[in-house]
Amino acid sequence: MEYKNYPGNGFNIYTIKTDKFKTCHMEVIFRSNVDKKTLTKRAFLCDMLMRSSKKYPTRTKVGIALEELYNTHIYGVISKVGNTLFSTYCLSFLNPKYTEKGITKKAMEMLFDMLDNPNIADNAFDKDSFKIVKNNLKADIIAQKENSMGFAIRRMLHHLDEDSPSSFSVSGYLKDLEEINEENLIHFYNEVMENDICDIYLIGNLDMNECAKQINKMFERKTNNMSDIVLYAKSKKVRKIQEVNEKDKWEQANLVVGCNIDKLSDREKTLVVHVYNVILGTGSMETKLFKYLREQNSLCYTTKSIYQKYDNLLILYAGIDSSSYKLSVDLMKKALKEMQDGVISEEELDNAKALLKSSLDMTYDNPGGLINNYLFENLDNLPKLEVRIKEIMSVTKEEVQKVAKKIKINTIYMLSGGEAE
Instruction: List, for residues 321-338, the tens digit of each pLDDT value.
Output: 999 999 999 999 999 999
Both 26 and 146 in one domain: the answer is yes
Residue 214 burial by Cβ neighbours in a 10 Å radius (0-12, 13-18, 19+) = middle
CATH value at residue 302: 3.30.830.10
Mean pLDDT of 83-89: 97
Q: Which residue would you say has higher pLDDT here, 136 or 146?
A: 136
Angle at 355 between CA 349 and CA 356, to 5 degrees: 90
Q: Which residue would you say has higher pLDDT here, 258 or 101?
A: 258
Overall domain count for the chain: 2
34-38, 125-129, 246-250, 330-334: least confident range: 246-250
In a domain, 228, yes or no: no
Both 70 and 113 in one domain: the answer is yes
Of 180, 153, 193, 187, the C-alpha closest to 169 is 153
- The phi, psi pair for 7, rounded to 5°, reads -75, 145
Both 191 and 321 in one domain: the answer is no
Residues 213, 92: Cα–Cα separation, whole Å:
19
In a domain, 100, yes or no: yes
Both 130 and 205 in one domain: the answer is yes
Instruction: List, for residues 192-211, the tens digit of each pLDDT value.
Output: 999 999 999 999 999 999 99
Write down the pTM of the prediction. Answer: 0.93
Residue percentage of the chain with pLDDT more than 90 = 87
7-11, 184-188, 200-204: least confident range: 7-11
**For residue 419, pLDDT beyond 90:** no
In a domain, 237, yes or no: no
Both 42 and 134 in one domain: the answer is yes
Strand partners, 25: 92, 203
CB 57 within 8 A of CB 201: no
Both 388 and 256 in one domain: the answer is yes
Residue where a domain terminates, one of 186, 218, 250: 218
What residues make up the domain containing 280?
242-417
Both 399 and 348 in one domain: the answer is yes
Residue 249 burial by Cβ neighbours in a 10 Å radius (0-12, 13-18, 19+) = exposed
pLDDT given at position 211: 97
pLDDT given at position 291: 96
Q: Hey, is 211 helix, strand or coil?
A: helix
pLDDT, the chain, mean: 94
pLDDT given at position 223: 65
Q: Hey, is 93 helix, strand or coil?
A: strand
Residue where a domain terminates, one of 202, 218, 234: 218
